[in-house]
């Protein structure tokens, strides 16, 4: 009995040695992402990239990261609850995400209230970093914003697709969709195009026959669908069912392997704006793409690439200031310039938004084809 | 001419949606007629039918007629199970208990089937085992999907008519909906007839589920909530308890929804249906075909 006890004590002492020897301070970083729900592929990509980023960081980083993931189900209430739990219960130092703008907007309010730095990889709506024209402190994003994205889409439609008439179908309850629709409309009309149909629908609408018939009657050259991939696929199918011949144009919400799975031939050939193309020739990008392919068997989409960038930005800033201090980190983030990320060179402007180029991709049967890059 | 063509086209869109609503409303109305119960779980059996269709086509690659037959069978079985387990024990209980139980069954079906081991809470692409084709007819274009929906609905309604008005079981159902006690005195097997009613009602919903899947090819465990509510409103609009009421109500609701979408805005489509419900309950609670309540 006594021998066993002694052995147990020696074993316990041995186990504490690594703690003494390494002594890296532990920081908790939260990730808010839609693991389930209508856009779960975004969540899976983000989670995968998040873990890869942490593993890469810990090879040379000064801190040990304890990752905590919260599922927001692409629902603002769930996201807000998840954020509250991460902040108040798990006491995270910072948050990566949320992914979608509609969840990021309420969560950013919590970030400001509780003073937790938040870096979203992918939320593009203007309102994420600005409230009533004023900048929200502590909130940053590694991606471009929708005023830029919407105008890129419209310019592409006008110049490259040579469209004269356009129709827009958007989700009235989603700031992302609505914001993009408005920007596309104003840019398209400024470029002497005519918007012949500007129709809204609700998130849960399934029957688009009325809208499709309405739009078909106006015979637009291009139809702009700024929504998430599952809705876009459904609308595209119903458009093609009624033999609507317009070119379909979309935004980064289209980026998912499920888009073609659900939409099939209806969506193939459509164009969409995105944050990066996996065909990008760049050291950091190629390394990440190879790592992701090895671990998960598929090419990372923009959601993964941006989440990787957002996480790395956060962790490398943490290393720079060397202390898990919220104010130091936030100040250092505000000053971020020329960060070499997977998705490009990232600098935060005075609103915490990244100024970057956009790419146009075309949907193919397997993946997407790079078409062109449009600079800000 | 353009306006006429556009209006007719939207009318066909509305009938397409209305046909599915009619099939679901039949289940509501038949169960109400026999049990005076609003089976709130009915929309979820519609969802179940759609998923059964998905599995049949996508996983097992069965021919279309077999898909329909399996869905009809599966939904009928589910309907009878629900009745035997949840509603039968409460036959003598106050109506409110039955109503709450129905809501409970609905929530159970939705959340149990949304587990990852079951149907998962994700959106699933509903397969179409045929290519979509459009046919030009006078001023409008009809797709083969719409033709399938109209023909299958018509066939189902015809079979239902034969069942309810030309068979002994149908007569038993009608007798039961008049007066349960007297019917049982007349030799009607109450339990068997109630189960039969449920089976027929849910079978119609199953057919509706597959047709809905063809038309709007994305299914999800929560897809039955809204169509269930709207079909219930349709049954009330036409006269709850009356089969022809359910059909007319379903078509009217479908057409109204599409017209509101087409001429006003898609954002009003759900709200408008609820306004219809309010108006019906305020001014004609017995529905279009319902008789006025006679005060004795």
Does B218 contact A243 at a Cβ distance shorter than 8 Å?
no
R_g of chain B computed on alpha carbons? 19
pLDDT of res. B125: 87
Please, is B4 exposed, middle or buried when counting C-beta atoms within 10 Å of its C-beta (0-12, 13-18, 19+)? exposed
pLDDT of res. B292: 58
Q: Which of A40, A209, A217 sits opposite B16 (nearest CB)?
A: A209
Q: Which of B14, B122, B267 sits opposite A202 (nearest CB)?
A: B267
Please, is A94 exposed, middle or buried when counting C-beta atoms within 10 Å of its C-beta (0-12, 13-18, 19+)? buried
Report d(CA B92, CA B94) in Å as an integer.
7
Does B132 contact A230 at a Cβ distance shorter than 8 Å?
no
Report d(CA A210, CA B9) in Å as an integer.
9
Q: Does B159 touch chain A (CB under 8 A)?
A: no
Cβ-based contacts of B269 with chain A (< 8 Å): 202, 205, 210
Report the relative pairing of strands A130-131 and A118-120 from DSSP bridges: unpaired
Residue B73 lies inside a defined structural domain of this protein: yes
Cβ(A34)–Cβ(A71) below 8 Å: yes
Query: Best residue in B15, B266, B267, B270 to probe A by mutation, most A CBs within 10 Å?
Result: B266
Report d(CA A43, CA A72) in Å as an integer.
9
Residue B170 lies inside a defined structural domain of this protein: yes
Please list the ranges in chain B whose pLDDT falls under 50.
Answer: 294-296
Residue B244 lies inside a defined structural domain of this protein: no
Q: Where are the domains of chain A?
A: 12-144+280-357, 147-274
Does B216 contact A240 at a Cβ distance shorter than 8 Å?
no
Q: Does B268 touch chain A (CB under 8 A)?
A: no
pLDDT of res. B296: 45
Cβ(A181)–Cβ(A213) below 8 Å: no
DSSP for residue B74: H
Q: Which of A200, A210, A261 sits opposite B125 (nearest CB)?
A: A261
Q: Look up the pTM and report it.
A: 0.86
Please, is A92 exposed, middle or buried when counting C-beta atoms within 10 Å of its C-beta (0-12, 13-18, 19+)? buried
Report d(CA A62, CA A341) in Å as an integer.
20
Query: Into how many domains does chain B fold?
Result: 1
Does B122 contact A40 at a Cβ distance shorter than 8 Å?
yes
Cβ-based contacts of B223 with chain A (< 8 Å): 206
**φ and ψ at B153, to 5 degrees?**
-65, -45
Domain that holds residue B190: 2-223
Report d(CA B181, CA B190) in Å as an integer.
9
pLDDT of res. A15: 61
| CB contact set of A269 (below 8 Å; sequence gap of 6+) | A247, A248, A362, A363
pLDDT of res. A147: 92
Report d(CA A29, CA A26) in Å as an integer.
10
pLDDT (tens, 9 = 90+) of chain A, 376 residues, equals 567 777 767 766 666 555 444 578 899 999 999 998 888 889 999 999 999 999 999 998 889 999 999 999 999 999 999 999 999 999 999 999 899 999 999 999 999 999 999 999 999 998 899 888 888 899 999 999 999 999 999 999 999 999 999 999 999 999 899 999 999 999 999 999 999 999 999 988 999 999 999 999 999 999 999 999 999 999 999 999 888 999 999 999 999 988 998 888 899 999 999 998 888 888 999 999 999 999 999 899 999 999 999 999 999 999 989 888 899 999 999 999 889 999 988 999 988 899 888 999 999 998 889 999 888 8
Residue B288 lies inside a defined structural domain of this protein: no
pLDDT of res. A22: 56
Complex ipTM, two decimals?
A: 0.87
Q: How many CB atoms lie within 10 A of CB B100?
A: 12
User: Of the candidates B223, B3, B102, which has an alpha carbon nearest to the alpha carbon of residue A217?
Assistant: B3
Q: Cα(first)–Cα(last) distance of chain A, in Å?
A: 74
One-letter-per-residue 3-state SS of B149-161: HHHHHHHHHHHHH
Residue B60 lies inside a defined structural domain of this protein: yes
pLDDT of res. A16: 56
Helix (H) or strand (E) holding A15: helix A2-22
pLDDT of res. B1: 67
CATH of domain A12-144+280-357: 3.40.50.2300
User: Of the candidates A346, A342, A319, which has an alpha carbon nearest to the alpha carbon of residue A45?
Assistant: A342
Cβ-based contacts of B20 with chain A (< 8 Å): none
pLDDT of res. B52: 95
| CB contact set of B103 (below 8 Å; sequence gap of 6+) | B40, B41
Distance from CA of B59 to the nearest CA of A (A): 15
- What CATH topology corresponds to A147-274? Rossmann fold (3.40.50)
User: Is the fold of A12-144+280-357 the same as that of A147-274?
Assistant: yes
State percent of chain A over pLDDT 70.
96
For chain A, helix (H) and strand (E) counts, in that order, are 12, 16
Cβ(A175)–Cβ(A200) below 8 Å: no
Cβ-based contacts of B220 with chain A (< 8 Å): 38
Search chain B and give the residue with CA nearest A216. Answer: B6
Report d(CA B191, CA A187) in Å as an integer.
67
């Amino acid at each position: 009995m006594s021998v066993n006890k002694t052995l147990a004590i020696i074993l316990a002492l041995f186990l504490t040695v690594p703690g003494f020897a390494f002594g890296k301070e532990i920081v908790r970083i939260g990730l808010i992402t839609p693991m389930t729900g209508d856009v779960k592929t975004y969540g899976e990509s983000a989670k995968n990239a998040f873990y890869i980023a942490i593993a890469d960081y810990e090879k040379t980083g000064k801190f040990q990261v304890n990752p905590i993931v919260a599922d927001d189900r692409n629902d603002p209430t769930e996201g807000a609850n998840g954020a509250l739990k991460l902040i108040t219960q798990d006491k995270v130092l910072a948050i990566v995400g949320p992914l979608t703008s509609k969840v990021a907007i309420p969560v950013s309010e919590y970030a400001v209230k509780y003073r937790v730095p938040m870096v979203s990889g992918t939320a593009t709506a203007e309102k994420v970093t600005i409230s009533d024209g004023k900048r929200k402190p502590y909130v940053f994003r590694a991606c471009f914003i929708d005023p830029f994205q919407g105008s890129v889409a419209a310019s592409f439609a006008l110049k490259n697709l040579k469209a004269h008439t356009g129709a827009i179908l958007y989700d009235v309850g989603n700031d992302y969709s609505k914001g993009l629709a408005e920007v596309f409309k104003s840019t398209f009309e400024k470029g002497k195009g005519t918007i012949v149909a500007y129709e809204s629908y609700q998130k849960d609408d399934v029957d688009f026959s009325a809208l499709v018939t309405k739009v078909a009657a106006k015979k637009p050259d291009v139809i702009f669908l700024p929504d998430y991939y599952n809705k876009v696929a459904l609308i595209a199918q119903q458009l093609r069912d009624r033999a609507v011949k317009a070119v379909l144009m979309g935004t980064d919400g289209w980026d998912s392997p499920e888009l073609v799975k659900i939409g099939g031939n209806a969506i193939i050939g459509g164009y969409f704006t995105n944050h990066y193309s996996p065909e990008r020739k760049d050291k950091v990008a190629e390394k990440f793409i190879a790592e992701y392919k090895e671990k998960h068997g598929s090419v990372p989409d923009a959601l993964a690439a941006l989440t990787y960038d957002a996480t790395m930005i956060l962790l490398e800033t943490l290393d720079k200031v060397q202390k898990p201090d919220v104010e130091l980190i936030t100040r250092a983030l505000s000053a971020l310039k020329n960060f070499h990320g997977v998705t490009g060179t990232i600098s935060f402007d005075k609103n915490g938004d990244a100024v970057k180029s956009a790419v146009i991709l075309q949907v193919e049967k397997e993946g997407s084809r790079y078409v062109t890059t449009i600079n800000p | 001419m353009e306006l006429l063509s556009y209006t007719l086209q939207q009318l066909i869109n509305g009938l397409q949606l209305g046909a599915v609503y009619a099939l679901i409303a039949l289940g509501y109305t038949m169960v109400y007629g026999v049990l005076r119960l609003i089976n709130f779980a009915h929309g979820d059996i519609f969802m179940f039918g759609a998923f059964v269709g998905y599995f049949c086509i996508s996983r097992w690659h069965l021919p279309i007629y077999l898909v329909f037959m399996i869905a009809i069978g599966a939904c009928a079985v589910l309907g009878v199970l629900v009745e035997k387990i949840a509603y039968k024990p409460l036959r003598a209980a106050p109506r409110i208990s039955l109503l709450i139980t129905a809501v409970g069954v609905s929530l159970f079906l939705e959340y149990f089937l949304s587990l990852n081991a079951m149907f998962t809470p994700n959106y699933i692409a509903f397969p179409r085992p045929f290519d979509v084709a459009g046919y030009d007819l006078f001023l409008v274009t009809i797709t083969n999907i719409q033709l399938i929906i109209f023909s299958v609905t018509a066939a189902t309604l015809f079979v239902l008519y034969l069942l309810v008005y030309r068979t002994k079981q149908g007569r038993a159902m009608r007798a039961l909906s008049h007066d349960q006690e007297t019917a049982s005195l007349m030799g009607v097997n109450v339990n068997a007839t109630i189960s039969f009613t449920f089976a027929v009602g849910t079978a119609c919903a199953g057919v509706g589920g597959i047709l809905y899947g063809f038309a709007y090819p994305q299914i999800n465990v929560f897809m039955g909530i809204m169509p269930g509510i709207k079909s219930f409103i349709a049954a009330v609009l036409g006269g709850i308890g009356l089969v022809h009421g359910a059909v007319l109500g379903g078509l009217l609701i479908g057409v109204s929804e599409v017209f509101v979408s087409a001429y006003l805005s898609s954002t009003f489509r759900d709200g408008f249906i609820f306004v219809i419900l309010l108006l019906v309950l305020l001014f004609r609670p017995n529905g279009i075909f319902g008789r006025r309540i006679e005060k004795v």
